[in-house]
Amino acid sequence: MNQQFKVVASGKYVPSDIVTNQDLEKIIDTSDEWIRTRTGIKERRKANEEVCSDLATFAAKDAIDRYQYDLNNIDIIIVATITGEQQTPSIANVVQGKLGITRPIMSFDINAACTGFVYALDIASSLLQTKRFKSALVIGSERLSSILDYTDRNTCILFGDGAGALIIEQDDQARPSYFLNGAKPDLTDVLTVRGTIAMDGKRVYQFAVDIVEKSIINVVEQAGLKLTDIDRILPHQANERIIQSVSKSLSLPMEKFAMNIENYGNTSAASIPILLAEYMADGHQNETILVVGFGGGFTFGAAIFYI
Ligand code: UT7
């Protein structure tokens, strides 16, 4: 079934506190040089007072204010996260409440780790396609600092806090969008959160390089397009070297990929919507974009849609 929607607003929120690589040098055995050359990260944000639902609500408000969107139109709220401040009420329920939406709309969370936003967008647009709903607010929000072990240099240098939001509306006139979401479960504890994040970085890296390349090729083929039809690829921001490797294997210049990892590190489910909000705020419109993510599970996903 075709998924036809238009993107009507996007927004982001990142906490104001910045943690630089030099700050991390003071608490663990690492160096700015190692972090920059191995990951591309220079700094990341760390929430102070804000919990996950605050980050999500501020990103949603940014989208609503920036595009002067009437929040009374919103019929569905989905939040992709692995760092909600509680299991229930869901973070999406809390966002609905904090936004002051009193109509009995559907709001719920999903967990697909760093691929969460791509999954959530697929779910939202599929629901819109039933025509029972007109408008969906899709958010990726993470307060990863609350699940980091600051004695583990393999993980604590990588992650940051933030949220991104997208509002989409069903539209029969819109060009069809394409999704390809999946999972390849690995039950050997390669990437887990049981209290804090633990990860075998090398194995995640190998999975990522392979699946990002395949996901791009497969979703482009499914859409009946060519790589040259895509204006920009917005990949999950986990490690700049992963994207450099994919850029090389697909013979695409690095300029084809939007990147902001140096400023925020890996914000898991928030990374793609933050990148997208910044991309749209830069004035990009009437473009065909491809988003691609991967993460714990393993999960992976890609989508082609129009902004
Ligand atoms: O969103 C999805 C979740 N995660 C990812 O996508 C992560 C994917 N993986 C990666 O990005 C990379 O594997 C890392 C950045 C995590 C690690 O980079 P690497 O090039 O794979 O390094 P490594 O784990 O092979 O470690 C190389 C060396 C080791 O030292 P020895 O054994 O060669 O002496 C590590 O102990 O670097 C050392 N090391 C560090 N040194 C300074 C590991 N972490 C650090 C650190 N600072 N923070």
Indicate the top mutation candidate among 37, 191, 202, 261 to test ligand 1's pocket, ranked by most ligand atoms within 8 A of CB: 202
Identify the active-site residue in 156, 236, 239, 263: 236
pLDDT of residue 1: 65
Containing 210, the helix (H) or strand (E) segment is helix 201-222
Give residue-wise pLDDT tens across range 245-265: 999 999 999 999 999 999 999
pLDDT of residue 2: 74
Domains of the chain: 1-307 (3.40.47.10)
The Å distance, Cα 84 to ligand 1 centre, comes to: 27
* DSSP conformational letter for 175: P
Cα 211 to Cα 41, 98, 218, 269, 282: the distances in Å are: 22, 37, 10, 17, 29
The Å distance, Cα 39 to ligand 1 centre, comes to: 9
Identify whether the C-beta of residue 121 lies closer than 8 Å to the C-beta of residue 276.
Answer: no
Catalytic residue at 154? no
Start-to-end C-alpha separation, the chain: 20
Mark the ranges of the chain whose per-residue pLDDT is less than 70. Answer: 1
